[in-house]
Amino acid sequence: MFSGCITSAESILISQQSTAEVASTIEREMALPPHSRARFVASLSPQSRASIAAYYNISMQSVYLRLHTFFTQILPFEAVFDTNIAREVSLVEGAREFQSRWKAKQVGATSPPLPVICASCPGWVCYAEKTHHAVLPYLSTTRSPQQIMGAMIKQKFSRQWQVPKRQIWHLSVMPCFDKKLEASRDDFTQDEIRDVDCVITTAELVKMIESYGIILSELPESQNLSSMETRLTSHAGSSSGGYLHYLLTVSAKSLFGLDIDIANSRGVQIKTVRNGDMMEYTLMDDSGVKLRMAQCYGFRNIQNLVRKLEGKKGKVVKKTNNAGDHHWDYVEVMACPSGCINGGGQIPTSSNSERTFTPREWVQTVEQMYQSQTIEWPSEERVAELYHEWFGEQPETCRKQFVETEYRRVDFTVENPLLLGSRW
């Protein structure tokens, strides 16, 4: 996790979102009359579930069902969702945005520049906003799954329960401390009501469960789930969300009529630029290169990316025949080495009675757990259904109000900097 040098105000925002805040909010609200107390809803990131599954050596589905029991029977939560529901929206809308910007470039129309750079990692976004302003026009305007999920929950349950949005209290469990800052952005607040009221990390959740004297693996699996709560399918590609995998696959088909299989390197050339954290994917046919995308994780690789973007007054180095020059159409950027699966809020290196894991082995174990999930290909039709069911609005209205966002220059001065522990 990397927050850069954060202000004292930002450090307060982080400290306010904690397991202590969860406990005090529950205590305060449950003392109120039923009609006026908050209604509690939780959302869980798949990376968090993978970390917990590896820690307890149980399946990711079992982790979800046991966490559902904890939240709804030990705590007064009324619903628990997997954020992969919102990730499907993020993937489909991210592909829509990329293809729109790519097509505009081909005809010389006015449009944000290429490459489109994934902006679901708040550590990377915070870094760009404070220190690399020339990069901001490249950032995708599609919100992260956490923030889309927050908007979905507030909108759906406000209508379903017929209560104001301020009466719905949404807790998000994430692999990253910087998600606390993301939830605090004014962009994700309407009438002083946050889409996500509180974020705790994976490790904080486990500590909270243990503070109740509970061993998660001994809790029964919940049997009382709604139809949306049972949607636990994942998406192909990286354990950071599979953005590049999905965008490259659907864009190959939509833009060029090409069917590719990235997992088996069919129709796409895959090159390791600098260890597994910097990979390049090139879509080609007989006429030459069609698209080139990159996966860029960790601080060193991000620095190299930024240098290329800022190399010529913020413009990408043009495509040439020199092997050293790169032109990417899309970049999946994550601040942490190995991506979100290795976020700073995940459970640290584990050991059990049979073996002790090195940090690298532990990340690989969590990665394998993440990849064990059932894969479901995102569907534009299903996203339209989600818009109708959760937002009750037409797709275009949903995009403008609940999915799109923007990032802006932050003129940052360091007075009392606090450098948080970094996995960069």
CA dist 249 to 16, 100, 111, 333, Å?
Answer: 41, 16, 23, 18
Structural tokens at position 157:
């349950």
Domains annotated for the chain, with CATH where assigned, are 5-88+143-236+357-403 (3.40.50.1780), 94-141+237-342 (3.40.950.10)
Check whether 89 has a pLDDT greater than 90.
Answer: yes
Over residues 248-261, the mean pLDDT reads 97
- pTM, rounded to two decimals: 0.91
The rounded distance, in Å, linking the Cα atoms of 92 and 94 is: 5
Q: Please indicate whether residue 24 or residue 3 has the higher confidence score (pLDDT).
A: 24
The rounded distance, in Å, linking the Cα atoms of 49 and 46 is 5
Residues 6+ apart with CB under 8 A from 11: 418
- For residue 175, is the peptide bond before it cis, meaning its omega torsion is within 30 degrees of 0? no
Residue 138 CA to residue 124 CA, distance in Å, equals 13
Confidence band, pLDDT 50/70/90 cuts, at residue 224: confident
C-alpha–C-alpha distance, residues 246 and 251, integer Å? 8
Write the CA distances from 262 to 46, 98, 266, 286, integer angstroms: 22, 18, 6, 18
Distance of CA 66 to the CA centre of its chain: 23
pLDDT band, very low/low/confident/very high, at 109 (cuts 50, 70, 90): confident
Could you tell me if 317 and 326 are in contact, meaning their C-beta atoms sit under 8 angstroms apart? yes
The model's pLDDT over 286-313, given as tens digits with 9 standing for 90+, comes to: 899 999 999 999 999 999 899 888 874 4
Amino acid at 134: A
Give the closest residue to 144 by CA, choosing from 198, 93, 69, 207.
93
Q: Give the C-alpha separation, 40 to 26, whole Å.
A: 9
For the segment 196-210, what is each residue's pLDDT rounded down to a tens digit? Answer: 999 999 999 999 999
Residue 77 CA to residue 79 CA, distance in Å, equals 6
Rounded CA-CA distance 96/109 in Å is 17
Which stretch of 103-117, 230-244, 347-361 has the lowest confidence by average pLDDT? 347-361
Report the 10 Å Cβ neighbour count for 143: 26
| Angle separating helix axes 122-131 and 299-310, nearest 10 degrees | 40
* pLDDT score of 3 more than 50: no
Q: From CA 162, how far away is CA 407, in angstroms rounded?
A: 33
φ, ψ of residue 255 to 5 degrees: the values are -85, -30
